[in-house]
Each structure stands twice: as C-alpha cells, then as structure tokens.
A and B are shown apart, each in its own frame.
Chain A
C-alpha cells in the first residue's frame, strides 16, 4: 500500500513538473507569436506605403514628363506610323 502511494506521489510530481514546463513553453511560444503578429502588421503597413510610393513614381503624368523632357521622346504623327500586318505565329 505504502509503495503504491509512493509511486503515485512520484507520478504526481512528474505530472506537475511537466505541466509547469509546458505552461512555460506555451507562454514563450505565445509571446513569440505575438511578436510575429506585430511584425506582420508592420509589414502590411509597409506594403501599403510601398504600393503608394510605387504608384506615385509610376504616375502617367510623371512618366510622360520624363519621356518628353529628359528623354526627348514624342508621339509620332499619323504619317510616321507604319502598320506592319501581323502574321499568325507558326
């Protein structure tokens, strides 16, 4: 009887310790998860800002201005456009 109790006590202590460690583990993982979630949100924010920046740089007005002023490009007049009849690709 006494030996059985001793064994049960040992098992109890083991269970209690494993509970403590797993609990601790869970908290640590949770903190990590929390940190990653925050990072996700920050990345989402950054993504939005980058999208905004990209579309600002790619504004047709800006592209046209650079093409006209820096690269000295112009839209060809009707007489300078030659249409090459398309051929079906082989």
Chain B
C-alpha cells in the first residue's frame, strides 16, 4: 500500500489544473466557432452581394447581342443603303506596351505612318481611336500582332451602293448608325435596330456552356422599300447631270412619277454629294432641292388656269381669245408675250404659251375659283412624301389677290412651288382628273386619288398639252419616238430681291404615253447660262431622253409606232417667256 501511496506522491507534483480552465478554453473555442458560423451566415444571407458578384464574374458573362440596321432597298429590292459589320481599333495610350517594330507593323496594317500612329499614342492617358471602321480582316491582323493595350470593338458601317445618285433621298447616318438626313432620318424608328443582351455561363476555356437568362432580346431593324426604281434613278441622274453641265446651269432637278399611283420613281438633284465619303461636303450640296426649294414655275402652271376656266364653263377649248397686240396693261403693269400672235383659241394659248391669253382667261374667273383649282391640285401645301423638311410653297389666299396678281398667277408668277408638287399636280391630267398622293414609299397596285377635275376637262387639257410638243408648239424637242407625249414648258424669270432678273428657271413637265399615261417627268434647270434658256430648248430635250429611255426600260408598249417625231428647225420652234 505504501508503494502505492509513494507512487501517488510521485505523481502529485503535477500541479492540479483549476477546475474552470477547461470549460473556459472550450467556451472560447466555441465562441470563435460561433463567430465563424455567424460570419458565414451573415455573408450567406445578409451581405451576399459582394461575394456573389465575385463568383459570377468568374463564370457568368453578359453578352451583347448586336442588332443591325435595316436595309433601304428600291422597289425591285436593289440595295440603296446596307449595313455591314466593321471594327474600330482603340487603345489607352498609357497601357500600350510594344516594341518599335511592333508599332511599325501596326502602322502598316492600319495603312498609316509610324509617325502618325506615335502621335496618336502620345495624347496622354485618354482613350484614343487608332482606326475607325476598318474591315474585319484588318482587325484580325491587328489582333494577330498581340499588342498589349490595343483593342477592337464591333460596329456597323452604312454603305450606299448607288452613292451620289440617290444621296438626296436616302440621306445618311452618323457615327452611331443613327439617321441624320433624308429617309435615314425620318425612318429611324423603323430602320434602327435595338441591341439586346443575355446572361450566359462560360467554362474555363471561355466557351459559352449555358444560357441563364435573356436580358433583352435584340430587335434588328426592318428593311424599307422605297418607291424609287434604281434603273430610272440612274437614268434621271445621268441626264440631269449632263444637261446642267451642258447649259452651265447653277442647279437642276428631275422627278419621275408613276402616273397611276403617284409614287416617286426617281428624284435627282444636281449638285449632289457622295454619302460614302462626305467629310468635306458643303451643306449646300446636301439639299434635296426638288422637295425643299421653291421656285416660280412660269408657264408650266398655265394648264391649271385653263382647267379652272374649262371646269367653270367660262371657256371651251375652241373659244377664241384676242391676244393682239401681244401685251395687256393692267393698271401700271403690262404683261407681254415673247412672240405676239393674233386671235388664238384656248387650245392655242397653251400650244403657243401665250401669257396675254392665259391672263385674259384668268381675269374672266373669280379669284376664289382659280385659288380653289390651285389648292385642289396640291399647291401651297407640303406634298407629304415622307421626306423631312419638304416645303409647301406659297399660294396666297384669294381675298388678297389684286387683278395684276391674278393675271400673273395665270402663267405661274407670284406663286412658288417645288418640283415634286409641280409633277404631282400633273397627275390630274394624266389620270382623268384625279390627284394622286406623291409618296417615296412603295405603294400597292392601285392608289385612290382625289377627284379634282371632270374627266372631260382633264382629257381636253391633255389634248392641248399634246399640241404643245408638236410642231407649232413650244416644245417639239420634247417628242419621244414611238410614243405620244403631252407636256408644257416653262421659262420663268428669277425673282431676286425686289424685282425680276434676266436669270431664268427653265422647266418642262410632261407625261407619256398620252393615250394611257405611265410616267410623269418634271425637269427643272436653274440659271442655264450657255446661250439657250427657253424651257423648250433647255429642259425639253432632257425630258425627251429620260422619258424615252424610261419607257423602254419599263417595257411600255408604244402608242404611236412609226416615225412620229417631226423636228422643225430650232428657229421655227415657238418660244415663250415665263
């Protein structure tokens, strides 16, 4: 037993632990553990945004889904404006880290000089575009150089295959594919795409393995079909350009309308610009003159005076009007005929374009009757083609007309119109009395017009317009082989400041085939200065070429086969002024 007690004694020197120590340690450990649990619960349930963000940034990506802008096509589907993907190369100059050889290679790929590139990279720490809108192949070659700090981004670039020929109608887009001019501007809502995005899971290699959610579905822009026929547009543009150049004119416009639907098949302006490279183009050249500029139409307005008189029963086509001695005095003003004639029938007043005759007919009508006719045929109101900034022209209320004004308005002075308005007004003669809506968008097969004239009035005026292009009329040069043509010339003095100058606007509006009108062509040449200035000599030949080629292009059956064109000597043609 003593041995046992000795052993106990030997063990005894180990100091006895205080009884509370183990529970304290245990308690502390438990407390620490609870803190951990609490923290993890806190992170899991309450403050979880940061870690979830960190986690998802490692496997989840938001991908931009591009949406391209809709195409603008002509009536046959030929593209007039089309978007294709390009890339822009950019860099943070401060982060670019490359050897001089690499930079030289980059400069070569981007088709610039190493010096120009270095200058761009010197511009401090700001974001800088090294090249804008380059083809994807170039961007791939840049990426292959693997220069740190040089990146690319996807963009769309708008191309205009027909270039300067249709730039006034189509317009163009700015940097971010947003329309700035023309149809591109007005139809932004329809054409513009809205890019979408979706959230996906990616694996270690960066491949997309799962769709998580679609944040926004991309909405690609819709295609837009215009009423333009690219073939006729080319024709119109080519002939207008050569006429403006041959006559050394300041500007010009040409419009082709479908006589049955009122659709604008071609609309050309000169001067023009190339929408694919428009860095230094004057605003002046961007104006769509045919819709946004007005001019005094001159004699091309006479048929409406005559139509108003026929419609009201004041005259008949064979009523005789005395135009001798070729001038008419109203108060302090005198109206002249360029070539005085004697007694003329109403038909001959149009054929020979007599100002005195037209003025006398107009003065036999109450102002309101004439105003109503001009207003009904669309003058003084914007033509509503769907083009931005089209003008209404000026048609003053009938109550304010003085007799001299009514007389000059009979032959197209004291009223201003744009070329599309003028062409559209002629639909009443081309369609047996109905005014068709002029539109830039492709319409259905038949378009309801607004009845303005009795069919017999329209046909009577059409006959007079046919006489005007035949020998003895003012515009034999407007004839088209194999087709019957009807039309009217205009030669207006330009109004500048307070008075009329010796500068002219030569115009011609006509339609063919006269037996079943298919097309209306209106030509306007502003300030021809190469000698000739009469509408019958400047504008009529353009009309003839364009109308002939356009009818052949469309395959319109001839209504006067055989050699129906009789061109008198130019001296024999009747000239008119206004």
List chain A positions with a Cβ less than 8 A from chain B.
27, 30-31, 34, 44-45, 48-49, 51-52, 55-56, 59-61, 75, 78-79, 81, 83, 85-86
Contact = CB atoms under 8 A, between A and B. Distances in A.
Given A79-B563, A83-B562, A31 B208 contact: yes
Contact of A85 (B207, B230, B561): B561
Contact of B207 (A34, A49, A60, A78): A34
B85 interface: yes
A81 B209 contact: no
B247 interface: no
A48 B84 contact: yes
B79 A55 contact: yes
B210 interface: yes
A83 to B, nearest CB: 4
B210 A27 contact: yes
Q: Which secondary structure dominates chain B's binding surface? A: mixed
9 contacts: A27-B210, A45-B136, A48-B84, A52-B79, A52-B84, A55-B78, A55-B161, A60-B230, A78-B565
A34 B84 contact: no
Given A55-B78, A55-B79, A85-B561, A30 B210 contact: yes
A31 B68 CA distance: 24
A22 to B, nearest CB: 14
A31 B207 contact: yes
Interface of B: 68, 78-79, 82-85, 136, 159, 161-162, 207-211, 230-231, 234-235, 238, 481-482, 549, 557-558, 561-563, 565
Contacts of B557: 86
A52 B211 contact: no
Contacts of A79: 563
B482 A31 contact: no
Contacts of B549: 75
B161 A34 contact: no
Contact of A83 (B161, B162, B234, B558): B558
Contacts of A34: 207-208
B565 to A, nearest CB: 6
B374 to A, nearest CB: 37
Contacts of A75: 549
A61 B234 contact: yes
Given A30-B209, A31-B208, A78-B481, A45 B161 contact: no
Closest 6 CB pairs of A and B: A83-B561, A55-B161, A78-B481, A60-B234, A48-B84, A83-B482
Given A30-B211, A31-B208, A85-B561, A52 B82 contact: yes
A78 B561 CA distance: 11
From A31, A59, A83, A85, residue with most partner B Cβ within 10 Å: A83
Given A34-B207, A78-B481, A60 B82 contact: no
Contacts of A48: 68, 82-85
Contacts of A52: 79, 82, 84, 159, 161
Contacts of A44: 68
A45 B87 CA distance: 13
B482 A81 contact: yes
Nearest to A56: B161
B209 A31 contact: yes
A15 to B, nearest CB: 21
B84 A49 contact: yes
Contacts of B82: 48, 51-52
B177 to A, nearest CB: 14
B562 A45 contact: no
B165 to A, nearest CB: 8
B70 to A, nearest CB: 12
A61 B315 CA distance: 50
B501 to A, nearest CB: 36
Nearest to B481: A78
Nearest to B234: A60
Instruction: Kindly name the residue among A45, A48, A79 whose own CB sees the greatest number of chain B CB atoms within 10 A.
Output: A48
Nearest to B211: A30
Contacts of B136: 45
A79 B481 CA distance: 9
Contacts of B209: 27, 30-31
Nearest to B482: A83
Nearest to B479: A78
Contacts of A56: 161
A75 B553 CA distance: 13
B78 A45 contact: no
B481 A51 contact: no
Given A31-B207, A48-B84, 8 more contacts: A27-B209, A34-B208, A45-B85, A51-B82, A60-B230, A78-B563, A81-B482, A83-B558
A30 B203 CA distance: 13
A44 B55 CA distance: 35
A20 B161 CA distance: 54
A81 B481 contact: yes
A61 B234 CA distance: 8
Given A52-B159, A55-B161, A59-B162, A45 B207 contact: no
Contacts of A55: 78-79, 161-162
A30 B210 CA distance: 7
